[in-house]
Amino acid sequence: MHIVAYNSDLYNNVSEAKREGKGLAIIAVFIEIGKTQHKSFYFIGEQLRWVKEKGKSRRVDFFSFSKLLPNTNEYITYEGSLTQPGCFETVTWIVLNKPLKISRKQLSQLRVLYHNHANEPGLPLSINARPLMPLNHRLLRTNINTHKRSKLCTMEKEMFYQGKV
């Protein structure tokens, strides 16, 4: 799951910010399927039926996105690109180290969303992979204590990734 924010100190809207440096911050949260429904995600799932297609909106009052975040202060961050075509290199990614646990039913609510407007043929949002992008010598930063062993985080103190694109 991605929670997207734009730099309102520098830009007027997301469309402008996504094309410029230091434009966007995205919090990435992995989702894990569990046996019970997540209470706050349940509320979001109920709203999705109103916004299945591109261009639809639904006003939601009195909801805090922080309720969708797992209980962790640990993360990995890096400067990267959008995952949508255009793939602008304008995003500060913040990847949390613990997943959000939702039920299988809640996952199925996400799978009814579409990339297209209501009167156009289109692909489900679940088909949203993009081409691989160059690594561009990205530097990963973290506040995760790699000296403390945990079953939740398997990072080693020194770990290097080398990729080919």
CATH of the domain at 30: 3.10.200.10
Residue 161 lies in a domain: no
Which residue from 35, 31, 136 is spatially nearest to 78, judged by alpha carbons?
Answer: 136
Residue 151's pLDDT band (boundaries 50, 70, 90)? low
Q: Which amino acid type is present at position 148? A: K
Kindly state the average pLDDT of the residues 6-22: 93
Q: Are 22 and 90 in contact (CB under 8 A)?
A: yes
Residue 113's pLDDT band (boundaries 50, 70, 90)? confident
78 a catalytic residue: no
Residue 15 lies in a domain: yes
Other CB atoms within 10 Å distance of the CB of residue 96: 19
Residue 152 lies in a domain: no
Residue 33 lies in a domain: yes
Which residue from 91, 80, 87, 72 is spatially nearest to 29, judged by alpha carbons?
Answer: 72
pLDDT at 8: 95
Residue 99 lies in a domain: yes
Residue 34 lies in a domain: yes
- In the three-class reduction of DSSP (H, G, I as helix; E, B as strand; rest coil), residue 164 is classed as coil
Q: Which amino acid type is present at position 12? A: N
Could you tell me what percent of the chain has a pLDDT over 90? 39
pLDDT at 1: 87
pLDDT at 165: 44
pLDDT at 93: 95
| Catalytic site residue from 6, 11, 42, 75 | 11
- In the three-class reduction of DSSP (H, G, I as helix; E, B as strand; rest coil), residue 35 is classed as coil
Residue 69 lies in a domain: yes
Residue 84 lies in a domain: yes
Residue 161's pLDDT band (boundaries 50, 70, 90)? very low
Parent domain of 68: 2-142
Helix (H) or strand (E) holding 43: helix 39-47
Q: Are 48 and 112 in contact (CB under 8 A)?
A: yes
Please tell me whether the overall predicted TM-score, pTM, comes out greater than 0.75 for this model: yes
Number of domains comprising the chain: 1
Kindly state the average pLDDT of the residues 120-128: 67
